[in-house]
């Protein structure tokens, strides 16, 4: 009974334990073993972060890393060490976050790649004409003589340097792709017709580009028209937060005419300058290819056909690939002239034949080691998606405070739609009044009119909540919101809206965790179950024993904290056992009982704090 307490508790010293390498997902128990500490300590730390995980529950890498750091240990950079075992590789959960996917694990091997550009702007301002012009020039310059097939991306060359343009203009495609996890674009060209100026879709395009953190180059189009008003457009842009260089800002503006071709060279050069100054796109051509689907269809003769924009690495003919939820082998690759190519490197588009299904625009392509591994990964993904389908896909007002606690967010992102400009201002003002020091509102879009697919896409891409005031939501937009897990809240009374938001912010403030001790039991007899597990035959001395938290005391000293996995009377699981009765107690992780240990049963409750202004 007087054993050294330390001997029952595994102890690792943060000072001597090296950096901990954490896999993509891990159970609480495995994490404890990995670090070399008691699982109860991990659970306690998780609870402190507002996560109530049981010992066998799987937590994701970010959570595990956070807890590990909170416990004073160092976390190794990057993901898990590369497994060379084929099966292990196949089972590894594929990365899903954009930044993870395109991350370069070997920074010394990256080289410059061509910037990828999306053209956006209001309808009829000349997006298509501009792209056509650029394409024509590119074909002429390339002297290929062939007819360029439409593959979803085209290239221009300026002074020997390439620029890749996505052929589907508009922020709809841009944001739809982003909602699928693919941040494809490096630079947004905002086309504004000089005679028409900043219009509703111009504003949307600005909001979408800003939400994605993509630098803007303004193409002031239709300069050949006599009734253009460039200065007015420049002012309108400033009013929308796009301050051009001439006005002391950072956004370049290039006057062009898609009709005459004037200014086009200047525009291309400016794109390269912006890329060099703000983006510096880089990639490692010597690794297996990773890219994005820009277009895909089922061709009658050739089967599934997908245009892949390679982002990093090289896609080679014969490679086994996973693309979204389908897999296959790169049976053949073609360039935009329909010619067979052997490989496609960073920032080049290639038509891929040989997939088993048709992927969607925005899906990520990854080269994998074998077709079998590819099939396995897709299977895993589908299973994971099924398991997750009930879970929230995106931010909701209720779960935001959790993310904040995890240090993941300090703002509530909102896509706001209102009936008229006047009410829009009123709602923004009212919300700004209730935001707190700790959590602020970030309005990604303030627009008028009903909630559209586009709004849902923007919210999905940016983890935002959609708030509508005196507006409706279309049927397809509603379906989309449900499918994407985007929270949409509609109001017709301002104070109801602010009340809800205030409550959400209160949730976002650190909740207090209040523990209530329920009772105590003394361990009288220890039963072994299986190899390593114990059930403590105990006598309840006061209060009651319920499922929930447990602290174990030996000689009056706390030796461990854990969760009560089950409480039994004779052979039956029961909800509680009260003072004066005997019971069997099994803890989730602690199996080092000794006679006369005291088990304290407690429950914990999370209490939201009210917003303080
Ligand atoms: P989009 O809806 O933004 O793709 O615009 P389009 O490229 O379809 O162009 C809309 C209209 O504007 C078409 O009739 C074009 O011919 C015309 N247009 C486009 N660029 C120019 C330009 O630079 N000058 C003039 N005068 N007309 C243009």
What pLDDT sits at residue 13? Answer: 66
Q: Which ligand 1 atom minimizes the distance to the CA of 258?
A: 23
What pLDDT sits at residue 51? Answer: 67
Distance CA 113, CA 83 (A): 29
What pLDDT sits at residue 78? Answer: 60
Distance CA 481, CA 231 (A): 40
463: left (phi over 0), alpha (psi -120 to 50) or beta: left
For a pocket test of ligand 1, which of 119, 120, 126, 167 has the largest count of ligand atoms closer than 8 A to its C-beta?
Answer: 126
Radius of gyration, CA atoms only, the chain: 29
3-state DSSP of 486-546: CCEEEECCHHHHHHHHHHHHHHHCCCEEEEEEEEEEEEEEEEEECCCEEEEEEEEEEEEEE
Q: Which ligand 1 atom minimizes the distance to the CA of 257?
A: 23
Q: What is the mean pLDDT of residues 334-357?
A: 91
Q: Which of 20-29, 39-48, 353-362, 433-442 has the lowest mean pLDDT?
A: 39-48
3-state DSSP of 355-394: ECCCCCCCCEEEEECCHHHHHHHHHHHHHHHHHHCCCCCC
Q: In the predicted model, is pLDDT for residue 149 greater than 80?
A: no
Distance CA 578, CA 266 (A): 82
For a pocket test of ligand 1, which of 120, 124, 220 has the largest count of ligand atoms closer than 8 A to its C-beta?
Answer: 124
H/E stretch holding 31: helix 28-35
Quote the ligand 1 centre to 254 CA distance (angstroms). 16
For a pocket test of ligand 1, which of 124, 129, 169, 258 has the largest count of ligand atoms closer than 8 A to its C-beta?
Answer: 129
For a pocket test of ligand 1, which of 258, 261, 263, 267 has the largest count of ligand atoms closer than 8 A to its C-beta?
Answer: 258
> Using 50, 70 and 90 to split pLDDT, how confident is the model at 15?
low
Q: Contact at 8 Å (CB) between 418 and 469?
A: yes
For atom 11 of ligand 1, the residue with the nearest CA is: 124
Q: What is the mean pLDDT of residues 174-187?
A: 79
Neighbours of 387 (CB within 10 A): 9
Quote the ligand 1 centre to 44 CA distance (angstroms). 63
Q: How does the average pLDDT of the chain come out, rounded?
A: 82
What pLDDT sits at residue 208? Answer: 87
Strand, helix or coil at 465?
A: strand
Q: What is the mean pLDDT of residues 469-496?
A: 86
Distance CA 251, CA 233 (A): 14
Pairing of strands 58-60, 25-27: antiparallel
Residue 166, CA distances (Å) to 306, 349, 447, 528 in order: 14, 10, 26, 65
User: For residue 105, what are the contacts with CB-CB under 8 A and spacing of at least 6?
Assistant: 78
Q: In the predicted model, is pLDDT for residue 88 greater than 70?
A: no
The pTM score is 0.59
Quote the ligand 1 centre to 129 CA distance (angstroms). 6
> Using 50, 70 and 90 to split pLDDT, how confident is the model at 509?
very low
Strand, helix or coil at 215?
A: coil
User: For residue 482, what are the contacts with CB-CB under 8 A and spacing of at least 6?
Assistant: none
What pLDDT sits at residue 412? Answer: 82
Neighbours of 123 (CB within 10 A): 12
Quote the ligand 1 centre to 202 CA distance (angstroms). 15
Q: In the predicted model, is pLDDT for residue 80 greater than 60?
A: no
Of 221 and 10, the one with more pLDDT: 221
Q: What is the mean pLDDT of residues 164-175?
A: 80
Quote the ligand 1 centre to 107 CA distance (angstroms). 43
237-261, pLDDT tens digit by residue?
A: 999 999 999 999 999 999 999 999 9
Quote the ligand 1 centre to 222 CA distance (angstroms). 7
Q: How many residues belong to the chain?
A: 613
pLDDT above 90 covers what percent of the chain? 37
> Using 50, 70 and 90 to split pLDDT, how confident is the model at 487?
confident
What pLDDT sits at residue 4? Answer: 38
**Locus of tokens 């390679």:** 310
pLDDT above 70 covers what percent of the chain? 82
Distance CA 430, CA 443 (A): 13
Quote the ligand 1 centre to 166 CA distance (angstroms). 18
What pLDDT sits at residue 392? Answer: 43
What pLDDT sits at residue 221? Answer: 97
377-436, pLDDT tens digit by residue?
A: 888 877 766 655 444 456 666 666 555 555 555 678 899 999 888 888 889 988 888 877
User: For residue 118, what are the contacts with CB-CB under 8 A and spacing of at least 6?
Assistant: 165, 166, 169, 171, 173, 174, 184, 185, 187, 188, 189, 214
What pLDDT sits at residue 101? Answer: 73
Q: In the predicted model, is pLDDT for residue 11 greater than 80?
A: no
Q: In the predicted model, is pLDDT for residue 532 greater than 60?
A: yes
Residues having CB within 6 Å of any atom of ligand 1? 121, 123-129, 169, 221-222, 224-225, 257-259
Quote the ligand 1 centre to 131 CA distance (angstroms). 11
What pLDDT sits at residue 82? Answer: 38
State both tokens at 464.
């935002």
Quote the ligand 1 centre to 257 CA distance (angstroms). 9
For atom 17 of ligand 1, the residue with the nearest CA is: 126
Q: Which ligand 1 atom minimizes the distance to the CA of 169?
A: 4
Of 180 and 370, the one with more pLDDT: 370
Q: In the predicted model, is pLDDT for residue 90 greater than 50?
A: no
What pLDDT sits at residue 611? Answer: 41
Q: In the predicted model, is pLDDT for residue 86 greater than 60?
A: no
């Amino acid at each position: 009974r007087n054993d050294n307490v330390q001997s029952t508790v595994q102890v690792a010293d943060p000072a001597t334990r090296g950096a901990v390498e954490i896999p993509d997902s891990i159970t609480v128990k495995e994490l404890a073993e990995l670090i070399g500490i008691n699982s109860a300590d991990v659970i306690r730390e998780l609870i402190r972060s507002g996560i109530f995980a049981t010992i066998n529950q799987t937590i994701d890498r970010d959570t595990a890393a956070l807890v590990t750091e909170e416990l004073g240990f160092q976390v190794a950079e990057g993901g898990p060490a590369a497994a060379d075992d084929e099966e292990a590789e196949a089972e590894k959960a594929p990365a899903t976050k954009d930044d993870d996917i395109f991350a370069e694990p070997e920074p010394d091997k990256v080289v410059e790649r061509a910037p990828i550009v999306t053209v956006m702007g209001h309808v009829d301002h000349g997006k298509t004409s501009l792209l056509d012009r650029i394409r024509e020039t590119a074909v002429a310059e390339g002297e290929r003589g062939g007819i360029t097939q439409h593959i979803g991306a085209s290239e221009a060359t300026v002074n020997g340097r390439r620029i890749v343009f996505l052929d589907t203009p508009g922020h709809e495609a841009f944001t739809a792709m982003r909602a699928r996890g693919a941040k494809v674009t490096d630079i947004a060209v905002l086309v504004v017709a000089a005679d028409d100026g900043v219009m509703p879709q111009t504003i949307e395009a600005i909001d979408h580009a800003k939400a994605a953190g993509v630098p803007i180059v303004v193409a002031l189009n239709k300069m050949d028209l006599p009734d253009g008003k460039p200065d007015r457009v420049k002012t309108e842009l400033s009013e929308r937060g796009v301050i051009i260089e001439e006005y002391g800002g950072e956004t370049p503006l290039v006057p062009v005419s898609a009709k005459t071709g004037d200014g086009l060279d200047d525009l291309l050069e400016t794109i390269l300058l912006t890329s060099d100054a703000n983006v510096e796109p880089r990639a490692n051509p010597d690794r297996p290819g990773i890219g994005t689907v820009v277009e895909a269809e089922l061709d009658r003769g050739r089967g599934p056909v997908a245009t892949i924009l390679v982002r990093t690495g090289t896609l080679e003919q014969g490679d086994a690939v996973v693309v979204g939820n389908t897999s296959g082998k790169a049976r053949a690759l073609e360039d935009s002239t329909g010619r067979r190519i052997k490989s496609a490197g960073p920032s080049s588009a290639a038509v891929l034949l040989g997939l088993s299904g048709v992927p969607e625009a925005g899906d990520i392509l990854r080269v994998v080691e074998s077709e079998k591994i590819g099939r396995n990964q897709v299977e895993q993904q589908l299973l994971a998606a099924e398991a997750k389908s009930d879970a929230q896909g995106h931010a909701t007002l209720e779960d935001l405070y959790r993310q904040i606690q995890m240090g993941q967010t300090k703002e509530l992102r909102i896509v706001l739609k209102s009936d008229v400009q006047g009410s829009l201002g009123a709602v923004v003002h009212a919300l700004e009044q209730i935001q707190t020091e700790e959590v602020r509102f970030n309005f990604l879009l303030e627009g008028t009119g009903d909630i559209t697919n586009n709004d849902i896409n923007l919210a999905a891409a940016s983890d935002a909540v959609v708030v509508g005031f005196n507006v409706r939501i279309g049927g397809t937009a509603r379906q989309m919101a449900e499918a994407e897990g985007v929270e949409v809240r509609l109001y017709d009374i301002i104070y109801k809206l602010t009340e809800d938001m205030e409550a959400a912010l209160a949730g976002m403030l650190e909740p207090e965790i209040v523990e209530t001790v329920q009772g105590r039991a003394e361990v009288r007899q220890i039963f072994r179950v299986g190899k390593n597990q114990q059930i403590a035959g105990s006598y309840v001395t006061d209060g009651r024993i319920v499922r929930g938290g447990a602290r174990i005391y030996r000689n009056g000293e706390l030796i461990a904290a854990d969760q009560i996995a089950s409480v039994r009377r004779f052979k039956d699981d029961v909800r509680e056992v009260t003072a004066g009765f005997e019971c069997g107690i099994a803890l989730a992780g602690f199996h080092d009982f000794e006679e006369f240990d005291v088990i304290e049963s407690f429950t914990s409750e999370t209490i939201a704090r009210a917003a303080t202004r």
